[in-house]
Structure 1
Amino acid sequence: MSTIAPLTTPTLEATSRPLLSIRGVETFYGKIQALKGVDLDVHEGEIVTLIGANGAGKSTLMMTICGNPRARAGQILYDGEDIAQLPTHSIMSRRIAQSPEGRRIFGRMTVLENLQMGTTLVGQEHFDSDLKRMFEMFPRLSERASQRAGTLSGGEQQMLAIARALMGRPRLLLLDEPSLGLAPIIVKQIFEVIRELNRTEGLTVFLVEQNAFHALRLAHRGYVMVNGRITMKGTGRELLAREEVRSAYLEGGHH
């Protein structure tokens, strides 16, 4: 199906209480309802992916977790605390980091300065050791450290967006469409870094993706969203095996 070697689905014994638990969440843009009673769980140490077509509401859910837009109904429980109505800066200070859709790096700043921005909420105490880790994970960023971020390639900018998020030492990493517009070789590299961080450090990841083929191979569990509702859930392997998922998201070049 794909020229890229498939990622091995990891195994996990989930903890009893989810780190992130979304219950009955409804979100609106004006009078238009974007999320319609969404229920979803991410346990500590898991990679969970949310797949769906463009416009299904995936990124809206990611942004609602971060408080912009706000959920009009329902609960967003993080480590047992309902964060649904907290200000965004307060939510992110709870060791939640986001690599947003479109990357949103600081184009006029250097790579190094962007990485420094990632430490805003945690301080500089571990900066040197964490920077070394980022450069080991993403050697291209080390080569480009003094270069303006806006001059990087799309793949390099995505690496920078993820590394900047990781500089905040998150307990929960939110990744919104990290493969969008990237060459397959870069997608493979980024997903392998995510898998390795989860395997070696137990990093909890909630991943929103249109690239169902790779996302479901990476994830312990997955959810399918259609028109603002969760329509299916299961392990990554289970969802990959379902004919509805294969025909909707894996045919016609969705690899």
Structure 2
Amino acid sequence: MTSSSVPLLKIENLRAAYGKIEALKGVDLDIAQGEIVALIGANGAGKSTLMMSIFGKPRAKAGRILFDGADITAMPTHLIAKLRIAQSPEGRRIFQRMTVAENLQMGADVCPTTDAERDAALERVLKLFPRLRERYTQRGGTLSGGEQQMLAIGRALMSRPRLLLLDEPSLGLAPLIARQIFDAIRMLNAQDGLTVLIVEQNANHALRLAHRGYVMVNGLITLSGSGRELLQRPEVRAAYLEGGRHG
């Protein structure tokens, strides 16, 4: 992990709503270059809304989102993506009728790249997820759930992101496949220095993976600390780690 005086991502007093329902009520969060940061909380706490608000959907009602020191709060979504912020969304949302190759190409098209950069990114993804190489010409809809998650992450990686947003990457996956996904995230961070914000229903895995974590309750950050510290907090253990329910 590296660090700098200016966080790569800084969120200040962020408020966002769906109609009259306020989903984010003044969120403060920051991520340093090279960190993995986990965001945990119960269903409906506002975690996915925070992820989506970074891309301007929903648009912030108040507060600021800063990326590498620049205010991107009001920036259009397509321009935010060109800053090399990439997201693997909840539910994967791959293009079911497109092949694995075509899905990955869509990821590469987000940001201008040279042929050499695109080829290098593709080889990196296929090395990270060998199953995608095996399924390269298959349609996305024919893949297993785990393979679709690998494809969703791979598509995001094709834009060579500086910041990767992962929303529930282990949701619905068998434990072995989920472990492979977490191992891949750890490798990307350790070898490439990739900065990651992960929302994850498996709080135990997320906090063991993360350098730091935040706990969100009803649209507000209520706790923060290192992953190890949060794993030891009794209120975190009671709410998210005991009894097999992670929210």
What is the TM-score normalised by the length of structure 2? 0.97
Q: What is the letter of the counterpart of residue 62 of structure 2? A: A
Q: What is the letter of the counterpart of residue 210 of structure 2? A: A
Partner of 2:241: 250
SS of the aligned residue for 1:24 comes to strand
Partner of 1:182: 173
SS of the aligned residue for 1:118 comes to helix
| Cα deviation code 1:51-109 (max 9, x no counterpart) | 00111000000000011110000000001111111110011110100101111100000
SS of the aligned residue for 2:15 comes to strand
Indicate which of 36, 39, 44 corresponds to 1:50. Answer: 39
Verify: 1:89 aligned to 2:78, yes or no. yes
Return structure 1 stretches of 4+ with deviation > 6 angstroms.
none
Indicate which of 191, 194, 213 corresponds to 1:222. Answer: 213
Q: What is the letter of the counterpart of residue 26 of structure 1? A: R
Verify: 1:66 aligned to 2:55, yes or no. yes
Partner of 1:145: 136
Verify: 1:231 aligned to 2:219, yes or no. no
Q: What is the letter of the counterpart of residue 43 of structure 2? A: N
Partner Cα distance (1:16, 1:207) in 2: 22
Deviation, 1:124, is 4.8
Verify: 1:210 aligned to 2:210, yes or no. no
Matched length? 244
CA contact under 8 A between 2:207 and 2:213: conserved in structure 1?
yes
Q: What is the letter of the counterpart of residue 170 of structure 2? A: S
After superposition, the CA RMSD in angstroms is 1.0
Taking the TM superposition and a 5 Å limit, the aligned residue runs for 1:105-124 are 105-120=94-109, 121-124=111-114
Partner Cα distance (2:197, 2:28) in 1: 14
Indicate which of 184, 189, 194 corresponds to 2:185. Answer: 194
Partner Cα distance (2:153, 2:2) in 1: 26
Verify: 1:171 aligned to 2:130, yes or no. no
Partner Cα distance (1:134, 1:94) in 2: 20
What is the TM-score normalised by the length of structure 1? 0.94
SS of the aligned residue for 1:158 comes to helix
Unaligned runs of 5+ in 1: 1-11
Partner Cα distance (2:135, 2:8) in 1: 35
Verify: 1:35 aligned to 2:20, yes or no. no
Q: What is the letter of the counterpart of residue 159 of structure 2? A: G
Deviation, 1:136, is 1.0
Partner of 2:121: 130
Deviation, 1:234, is 0.1
SS of the aligned residue for 2:96 comes to coil
Partner Cα distance (1:14, 1:132) in 2: 28
Unaligned runs of 5+ in 2: none
Q: Provide closer, same or farther for how the CA distance between residues 148 and 51 of structure 1 changes in structure 2, counting only shifts above 3 A.
A: same
Percent identity of the aligned residues? 69
Partner Cα distance (1:30, 1:189) in 2: 39
Q: What is the letter of the counterpart of residue 157 of structure 2? A: L
CA contact under 8 A between 1:122 and 1:169: conserved in structure 2?
no
